[in-house]
Structure 1
Amino acid sequence: MGKPTGFMEFPRELGADRKPELRILDWNEFHDHLTDDELRNQGARCMDCGIPFCHTGKTLAGMASGCPINNLIPEWNDHIYNGRWQEAIDSLHKTNNFPEFTGRVCPAPCEGACVLGIHEPPVTIKNIENSIIDHAFDQGWVVANPPEVRTGKKVAVVGSGPAGLAAAAQLNNAGHSVTVYERDDRIGGLLMYGIPNMKLEKWIVQRRVDLLADEGVEFITNTSIGVDITADQLMKDFDAVVLCTGATKPRDLPIPGRDLKGVHFAMEYLSKNTKSLLESGLENTHYQNSPVENFINAEGKKVVVIGGGDTGNDCLGTALRQKCESVINLEIVPQPPNERAANNPWPQWPKIFRVDYGHEEAAAVLGKDPRMFQMSTVEFVGDGQGNLRAIKVCEVDWSKPVENGPPFSVVPGSEQELECDLVFLALGFLGPEHIISEQLNLETDARSNFKAEHEQYTTNIEGVFAAGDCRRGQSLIVWAINEGRGAARECDRYLMGATELP
């Protein structure tokens, strides 16, 4: 490394965020970049650690440890320390098709596996990655680069989320003619409609989509494979098919009162909000007269979000920007510790208490952290006219599991009612929808995902590959990119007999 003692000289720093009270007044991103000199110091903190666990991309204790796309992190940290920005973006693009996405919304398992993080705050890898790609775009270094030769082979990619876009980019680079089918009206999948604008502004997604189109990728929207085009017809029209449909079946909460008006899946809420923003030109008063049918408006409402994670946090931030009256976030698990527990050693992902942007905003606006831990929802309570009025909850004790039952027990006498007008279920996803798999007689695994081995991505149907959340289940954006790239490699090998794709 250019500064072997940098980690002893410079503390960890991140770019400043706009104050919560101000940023909830609009839908824009709120993170600022560090200056070039400050970034240079952060790059200097990358140790000459011998074995850089940050880019190993392993799964430990069921979670990612290190970067699943194997970003060459020490290499581009060294470039930044030495002011070699062009070399830094070249190094970053060797492994990552979309660093402007991962630099914004990836939870950074690389930092959780940073060797420096054993005893000091880890290197600010995610922030440096984001700065590299933004600088490269500002300098005009990221341009369309279509392949010089076409193979004559045609590939259909179903789904335009991060896995689908990564597969399309790689297959197009190999010279194949790629058509991406998306059932929504815009390309991007969860990048476009699943992640709120304040985390990932949609012009950034569209900028990359436009680059891919300039390189020769064809995008077809408003087309549902299995409905508008049968899966059999798709097989006839293309030499190979790559399924990247995502895991879009939400986990429900089938308790009394589930059919009351005011109970919604989180992704329905988030996607309609983003669509409304885009249709109304990002006006921050769009919720007054939304152009989107069945738009869900939290203005003046008492909101409860059931479930944590990124999706639950995004619901908090969205409801606050819509000027909700109050917001509560229920989690059934115990509150994590502030430091790693003994059974959660490095380089596992640190399961610690975190304050994300939505929690910080709720605390600033409403006076306290919105989360209530170890709470189970037992009933949605109506007003007698079909509308949600409240929810009944109870505390649970994880130290007293029920024999032949759940790993927790209900705390006697803990039941209470929480008044609310809206509930958003952010309980994760169960797997992909199955209209395509049923039409193709595609095999599925025990969790209902499309059955295909990791690193192979081949299904039981010749010429059909599966990658991303539809194959592995709900996961991280970096795993989606990893699998999209891997499926492209194996699809190229199938078509050509050999491959040069990584």
Structure 2
Amino acid sequence: MGKPTGFIEYLREDKSEISPAERIRNWDEFHISMPEEKLRNQGARCMDCGTPFCHTGTLISGMASGCPINNLIPEWNDLVYRGLWREALDRLHKTNNFPEFTGRVCPAPCEGSCVLGIHNPPVTIKNIEYSIIEKGWDEGWIVAEPPSKRTGKQVAVIGSGPAGLCAAAQLNKAGHWVTVYERADRPGGLLMYGIPNMKLDKQTVVMRRIHLLEQEGVRFICNTEVGKDLPTETLLKDFDAVVLCVGATKPRDLPIEGRDLKGIHFAMEFLTANTQSVLESSPNGHLISAEGKDVVIIGGGDTGTDCVGTSVRHGCNSVVQLEIMPKPPLERAPNNPWPEWPKVYRLDYGQEEAAEKFGCDPRVYLTTATKFEGDENGQVKAVHTVQVQWEKNEKGQFIPKHIPGTERVVPAQLVLLAMGFLGPEQPLLDALGCDRDARSNVKADYGNYTTSIPGVFAAGDCRRGQSLVVWAFNEGRGAARECDRYLMGHTDLPD
């Protein structure tokens, strides 16, 4: 490493976002780059640690530890420290097709397993990654690189989310003709409609990469739902191989009393309609507005956070986020050692914005909803809640038990269900006739991604279940490699 004592000399600095008070006024992306001198200092903090756990990419206790796509983090940290930005970009692109996405939306499991993080704040890996790729775009270093030779093979990728885009990019790089089908009106899948614009700008970030892929030869067909608008028989006949990257978009419901009241929506309905409105620069008939309303969000994950940030920008009257799990500790618990992902309390951007506007973190822990209460017009007006404690049942499983006397009624004219997803929607899979696993995901082993139908592969959330964008990258690249092997008898695509 260029600066062996950098981790001693420099403190972690990661303030690379517009302040909450300013950013909640609009839908503009809030990420900003740090000055180059500070970035070089942050790169210098990367230690010559011998075994860089940051890029090992494995699962420990069911959570990602290190980078799932094995980013060459120590190498590009050192290159940034030495001011060799073009070389850093080249190293970054060796493992990551779209660093501009992970540099914005990835929770950075790499930082959770940084060796420096054992005794000091870890290296600002995510911020450096973001800065490398943005400098690459700004300098004009990122240009279309269509393959020099074509194989003549036709591959269909179903779904244009993170896994689908990675699969398409890699298969196109191998020389195959790739057509990506997307049922929405714009490509990008989760990246387009599942993540709000202020976190990931659609026009200047998502679409610039889509346009580059088109210049390289990838074809995108939107407003087309395979199995409905395009028969599966036609798909299998017209293409030499198919890669399913349809995501896990079946939301978990909350079937309690009052669920059929007006004003109760799945989170993705709320977020998708809002992004469509932002892109069209005017409210549309599908917009679900939080303006002037008391909002209750049920679920404490990333999707819930996005609902908080969106509601604040709408001008909600109040926002409460119900989280059934306990509040995490401020520091790692003894049963959560490094290099596991640190399960510690943190304010994500949405909670930070709500705290700025309303004075406190909107999350209420160890709390669940028991009933939705409506008015005379069938509109939700309140959520009945109760506190819970986690206890083992007769099977030894931890389950939440209601605590008598902790009941509360929370006013709400808008309720958003953000409790995760149960797996992929089934009609397409039924039409194809591919096997499913016990969780209704497409049955395909990790590493070969082959479904029960020859020539049909599956990657991302539809195969592994709801997961991180960076895991979708991992699977999209892996499925492309195995698809290429199937088509050609061998593959030069990287692991």
| TM-score between the two structures when normalised by the length of structure 1 | 0.97
Match of 1:175 in 2: 175
How big is the shift at 1:15? 3.2
Preserved CA contact (<8 Å) 2:85 2:132: yes
CA distance in 2, matches of 1:241, 1:386: 46
- The structure 1 segments of at least 4 consecutive aligned residues displaced by more than 3 Å after TM superposition are 400-406
Verify: 1:420 aligned to 2:412, yes or no: yes
CA distance in 1, matches of 2:321, 2:402: 19
Aligned counterparts, 1:257-406, within 5 A: 257-280=258-281, 286=282, 290-291=283-284, 293-398=285-390, 400-403=391-394
Q: Which moved more, 1:254-263 or 1:400-409?
A: 400-409
Match of 1:283 in 2: none
Which SS does the other structure have where 2:399 is aligned? coil
Letter matched to residue 44 of structure 2: A
CA distance in 1, matches of 2:14, 2:68: 23
Verify: 1:250 aligned to 2:242, yes or no: no
- CA gap of 1:380–1:344, structure 2 versus 1, over 3 A, is same
Preserved CA contact (<8 Å) 2:20 2:356: yes
Letter matched to residue 53 of structure 1: F
Q: Deviation string for 1:123-163 (max 9, x for gaps)?
A: 00000000000000000000000001100100000000010
CA distance in 2, matches of 1:248, 1:194: 10
CA distance in 2, matches of 1:376, 1:401: 18
Match of 2:84 in 1: 84
How big is the shift at 1:402? 4.7
Match of 1:192 in 2: 192
Letter matched to residue 99 of structure 2: P
Letter matched to residue 17 of structure 2: D
Letter matched to residue 58 of structure 2: K
Match of 2:422 in 1: 430
Q: Which moved more, 1:433-442 or 1:417-426?
A: 433-442
Q: Deviation string for 1:406-451 (max 9, x for gaps)?
A: 6232111111111110000000000001122111210000110000
Verify: 1:116 aligned to 2:116, yes or no: yes
Match of 1:224 in 2: 225
Aligned counterparts, 1:439-458, within 5 A: 439-458=431-450
CA distance in 2, matches of 1:372, 1:474: 24
Match of 1:125 in 2: 125
Letter matched to residue 54 of structure 1: C
Preserved CA contact (<8 Å) 1:402 1:408: no
Letter matched to residue 347 of structure 2: V
CA distance in 2, matches of 1:207, 1:158: 21
Indicate which of 457, 460, 467 corresponds to 2:459. Answer: 467
Match of 1:107 in 2: 107
Listed as ranges, the gaps of 5+ residues in structure 1 are 281-285
How big is the shift at 1:32? 2.0
How big is the shift at 1:21? 1.8
Preserved CA contact (<8 Å) 2:158 2:246: yes
CA distance in 1, matches of 2:433, 2:160: 23
Which SS does the other structure have where 1:408 is aligned? strand
Q: Deviation string for 1:294-337 (max 9, x for gaps)?
A: 31011000000000111000000000000011000100111000
Q: Which moved more, 1:132-141 or 1:381-390?
A: 381-390
Which SS does the other structure have where 1:418 is aligned? strand
Letter matched to residue 57 of structure 1: G
Match of 1:158 in 2: 158
Listed as ranges, the gaps of 5+ residues in structure 2 are none
Which SS does the other structure have where 1:304 is aligned? strand
Letter matched to residue 452 of structure 2: N
Aligned sequence identity (%): 65
CA distance in 2, matches of 1:70, 1:309: 25
Preserved CA contact (<8 Å) 1:180 1:220: yes
CA distance in 2, matches of 1:301, 1:21: 20
Which SS does the other structure have where 1:372 is aligned? strand
CA distance in 1, matches of 2:110, 2:60: 13
Q: Deviation string for 1:200-256 (max 9, x for gaps)?
A: 001210000000000000000000000001112100000000000000000000001
CA distance in 2, matches of 1:367, 1:140: 43
Match of 1:58 in 2: 58
Letter matched to residue 415 of structure 1: E
Which SS does the other structure have where 2:347 is aligned? coil
Match of 2:71 in 1: 71
Which SS does the other structure have where 1:393 is aligned? strand
Preserved CA contact (<8 Å) 1:15 1:31: no
Preserved CA contact (<8 Å) 1:46 1:123: yes
Match of 1:211 in 2: 212
CA distance in 2, matches of 1:499, 1:19: 47
Which SS does the other structure have where 2:223 is aligned? coil
Verify: 1:237 aligned to 2:238, yes or no: yes
CA distance in 1, matches of 2:462, 2:212: 26
CA distance in 2, matches of 1:401, 1:175: 54
Preserved CA contact (<8 Å) 2:325 2:365: yes
CA distance in 2, matches of 1:195, 1:68: 20
